[in-house]
Chains A and B, each alone.
Chain A
Amino acid sequence: MIYSLLSVKRNQEELNDLLNQLKGISGGSLSSVSYATITAVVSEINGNHLIADQSNAVEYARIIEALAQQFTLLPMRFGSMMETNDAITKMMERNCLEIQQNLQKVDNKVEYGLKIFCDSGKLREKIKASYELNTQSSIKTTSQIINSIYRDYVDKKLAEHRLEDLLLTFVDSVIAGITGSLNRLKAICKFRKMITETTIIDAVFLLDKKNERSLVHLIDDFKNQFNELDFVLTGPWPPYNFVETTIK
């Protein structure tokens, strides 16, 4: 089983010491397999049988986390297995350039996660009120044909549609603000929006660990700007969302 691909450079002894202190899934010993400047951290799984349950997944993440404290790495997906060390070496040989480029991209950087929540009903009401105040008009259109249930139905749907558009515009403005501020920290950002009714933004950032305090301050500033939203910032994490290698 492969845990991660590392850039060890001249710290092979340091890696060996760390691997001796850690245990792999099911208590197996961890070892390293190297090709050029890349090293894979691996352990044996008896009979190629891995139980894909929560405790093993958490254990897997803990090992990657411990390695990430000292080395630049690319985390492998849980359950990445190859039959022999030789097969792992050949895989690294085939993908050497791509792996090295990815390692360079995440060198000395860590990932942070930001989730932004809201009370969906309250936020919609606030956006609607603000729109109606600014435009001095209702979000609903007025029916031209009196006593038409069909026209009323379209009006209702149109109001919902306009509110959705306003909500998306609001979310985009929050994202633009965060992206603009994070440019100062030279962060790479990825955003997903409107994940659920209440989770309006799910973002991940890749940046230098030394910028952690600046990031926290920046998010605090945003909280002051958007009091109706709740922010949860987590990290540092290994760069789970910034590995763009498809293993051949």
Chain B
Amino acid sequence: MIEDKILYNTGSLDEFSEEIEKLTNSEDSRLKLTPKNADSGLAKLVLTLVELIRKLVEKQAMRRVDGGSLTDEEIERLGETLMNLELKMEELKEHFHLTDRDLNINLGPLGDLM
């Protein structure tokens, strides 16, 4: 049905189909909690929230750096903190066999979490 509905297209139809597939196929990014995988399912949920908060903190920190309100020493300390947070997060992802893609839950009509 969609082919009859295309009024204007500047890309290839294959690429368009791939993109639509990406937008609608959210199988990988669904949280699949079952009695058998409760541990890993819970880890995925918790780490997703931790990662979301970490990225928000990082974004806010960059706004402050960009605003020029921090001293060189404060920026130095901030860099150390953010770097350690990222490294710790990598360790946790490795421990639970999770990738960045796993931590981006699809929220249906709202799109991806991150």
Contact = CB atoms under 8 A, between A and B. Distances in A.
A154 B70 CA distance: 12
Contact of A153 (B9, B59, B82): B82
The CB with the most chain B CB atoms within 10 A, among A61, A62, A158, A219, is that of: A158
A192 B107 CA distance: 14
Interface of B is mostly: helix
B23 A196 contact: yes
B79 interface: yes
Contacts of B95: none
Contacts, number: 94
Nearest to A223: B10
Given A61-B1, A153-B82, A233 B8 contact: yes
Interface in A115-139: 115, 117
A117 B79 contact: no
Interface size class of A (residues with CB under 8 A): 35 or more
Nearest to A148: B76
Nearest to A217: B8
Contacts of A151: 72, 75-76, 79
Given A150-B79, A150-B83, A157 B62 contact: yes
Interface string B52-73: 0000001100110110000010
Contacts of B66: 158, 161-162
A198 B75 CA distance: 33
A117 B15 CA distance: 10
A233 B6 contact: yes
Nearest to A155: B79
5 contacts: A117-B11, A117-B16, A144-B72, A216-B8, A233-B9
